[in-house]
Amino acid sequence: MPAVNITLTTPPQGADPSVDHEIQAIVSGVSSAETCNTDLAAGPWVFDTRPGYGPGSSMGDVIPTGAPRQPELPREYREASEQELAGRIRAAKTTLGDRVVVLGHFYQREEVVTHADHVGDSFQLAGFAKAHPEAEAIVFCGVHFMAETADLLSLPEQAVILPNLAAGCSMADMADIDQVEECWEQLEEVYGDPSTGSGLDTPDADGLVPVVPVTYMNSSAAIKGFVGRHGGIVCTSSNAQTVLEWAFQRGRRVLFFPDQHLGRNTAKAMGVPLEQMPMWNPHKPLGGSTAAQLESARVILWHGFCSVHRRFTVDQIERARAEHPGVRVIVHPECPMAVVDAADESGSTDYIRRAIEGATEPTTFAIGTEVNLVQRLAADNPQHEIFCLDPVVCPCSTMYRIHPGYLAWVLEGLAAGEVRNRITVPADVADPARAALERMLAAKPPAAPPAVAAGWENAS
């Protein structure tokens, strides 16, 4: 299988933030480290026409029928070296000037992030998109739901571009609109009252509706639109508790999707007993619960997860503590509950970044989140020892679909007057989805110390 044409270098250990360089070294035998799939050394165009999320953390997840595919990338981009692609990207950006803004998610490969005008998490980047009304095009180096959110928050005349249409999100795909609509209908049978015609949108004597839908930012625009139509709200990994408090002020219980782990970890920290958090499996009647279990529920958790964060284990934390006495373990709240409980701290990607940058003394950090971010943090903070809890190099399958070749292709297309891979959310979905996002923005948490408050609205 052809590999990306790059020149390998051997900088001091920890100095190179490139996960791609490390994978190439593993596959070539230069490095003794381990990767979850040697196919990661190949260009993502090798997998674009095949069903599936591609090699990496989500390779075992089942992709929905009809998921977007990326047409074949022209040969000149597939065969160009890393250095040539970097030069072409810089030249295209110079030609375009303020007409384009390039956004790069924390989990993107270093060879892409280096060209980004702004780097951040999904919601920060959507905010950056909104902050550039002068740009004719917004090139979003992330995954599909992120580009959709940028389209929701940017101006109608601005084109939002996803360099590789195959860059989806397996967790977001775990709650599709048909399954959620079916779930809502089943919950109406449990919580509604046919004799009075009351349904899930009907308040009781206390002014509370039976259930409020809450969706994580990591969901499709269609799901955000569903939530907006039914009086619900969007949350991020940083403001999930604030959003759940907002929902409990309006409803008896919450339907939380698509990530069960963020929902469980957040609700547990708020004092909700685990027995009041039944799982909803969309492939089973009543989600696999009884009507009695649903009646007593406070948070109904959708059976979804992030394959990146599901790789982290308690055993990995115990090993890190044994090998690095005094290590500070920080994990993302998308990790399973046992992992979050065993860690010293949990928080969003931006929380992790700020925690490391705020450490005044040299510290050893074991981090449970996507390896591209961890490796970049290690390179940017040489005063600390920073490593990924999972010793196997296994990046996010779908984030890794964005390659400098695709970035060069869309930018050179723009320079030639051609918009490629535009992401557009239909108006009937966009309007209620924006309403759900606006409710989130209005639901600010109580005052907190500046270091905490500064990151409240950051996503995963």
- State the 10-residue block means of pLDDT for the chain, 460 residues long: 34 72 97 96 93 95 94 97 98 98 97 97 86 96 96 96 97 97 96 78 93 97 98 94 96 98 98 98 97 97 98 98 98 98 96 96 98 97 97 98 98 98 97 95 61 36
- pLDDT recorded at residue 199: 82
- pLDDT recorded at residue 198: 72
- pLDDT recorded at residue 15: 72
**Contacts of the segment 240-247: beta carbons below 8 A, 24+ positions apart:** 240/216, 240/266, 240/333, 241/266, 241/269, 241/270, 241/445, 242/443, 242/444, 242/445, 242/456, 243/214, 243/440, 243/443, 244/214, 244/270, 244/299, 245/270, 246/439, 246/443, 247/212, 247/214
Pair of tokens at residue 68: 């977007």
CA-CA distance, 448 to 369, in Å (whole number)?
25
Query: CA neighbours within 13 Å on the CB side: how many for 438?
Result: 12
Contacts of 92 (CB under 8 A, 6+ apart): 408, 411, 412, 414, 415
Q: How far is the CA of 28 from the CAs of 3, 6, 32, 109, 112, in angstroms? A: 10, 12, 10, 19, 22
**What's the predicted TM-score (pTM) here?**
0.92
In Å, how far from its chain's centre is CA 455? 16
CA-CA distance, 41 to 28, in Å (whole number)?
9
- pLDDT recorded at residue 185: 96
Contacts of 392 (CB under 8 A, 6+ apart): 34, 35, 36, 311
- pLDDT recorded at residue 197: 66
Q: Which of 401, 420, 415 is nearest to 88 (CA)?
A: 415
